[in-house]
């Protein structure tokens, strides 16, 4: 049971390049979330998916797109990376069990945009 896995762990992009961050979970929950974390800002929600086939914008969605591929996978795409998107990105889902009011995080992707 891997929990929440994210790939890649690290990435360096040049301005204007595109990339997709992958997230997969085996917690068997419907909801999944993408956050970014910047120094002094805390975690901010980019997009979330309440269930397979649905996605919604969070607090900071500009510059990102998401795809809920199936119940397990939720990807985040940067179509044209900008230096302001340099951040640590975390994927999350509720932990195993019936509770859905908290979240379990993946190990993160550290992205630098030059």
Partner 1 sequence: RKEVEQDPGPFNVPEGATVAFNCTYSNSASQSFFWYRQDCRKEPKLLMSVYSSGNEDGRFTAQLNRASQYISLLIRDSKLSDSATYLCVVNPMDSSYKLIFGSGTRLLVRP
Which residues lie near partner 1 (CB under 8 A)?
31, 33, 40-45, 48, 50, 56, 58, 90, 95, 100-108, 110
Q: Is the dihedral of CA 73, 21, 95, 47 positive or negative?
A: negative
Nearer to partner 1, 13 or 91 (CB): 91
Nearer to partner 1, 59 or 79 (CB): 59
Shortest distance, position 44 Cβ to partner 1, whole Å: 8
Nearer to partner 1, 17 or 31 (CB): 31
Shortest distance, position 38 Cβ to partner 1, whole Å: 10
| 3-state DSSP assignment of residue 83 | helix
CB 107 within 8 A of CB 9: yes
Q: For residue 77, what are the contacts with CB-CB under 8 A and spacing of at least 6?
A: 18, 19, 20, 21, 64, 65, 66, 67
């Amino acid at each position: 049971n891997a929990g929440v896995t994210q790939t890649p762990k690290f990435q360096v992009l040049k301005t204007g390049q595109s990339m997709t961050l992958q997230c997969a979970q085996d917690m068997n929950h419907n909801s999944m979330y993408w956050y970014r974390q910047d120094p002094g800002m805390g975690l901010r929600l980019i997009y979330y998916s309440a269930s397979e086939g649905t996605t919604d914008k969070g607090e900071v969605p500009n510059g990102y797109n998401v795809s809920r591929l199936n119940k397990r996978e939720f990807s985040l795409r940067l179509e044209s990376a900008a230096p302001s998107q340099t951040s640590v990105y975390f994927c999350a889902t509720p932990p195993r069990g019936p509770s859905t009011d908290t979240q379990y995080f993946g190990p993160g992707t550290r992205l630098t945009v030059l």
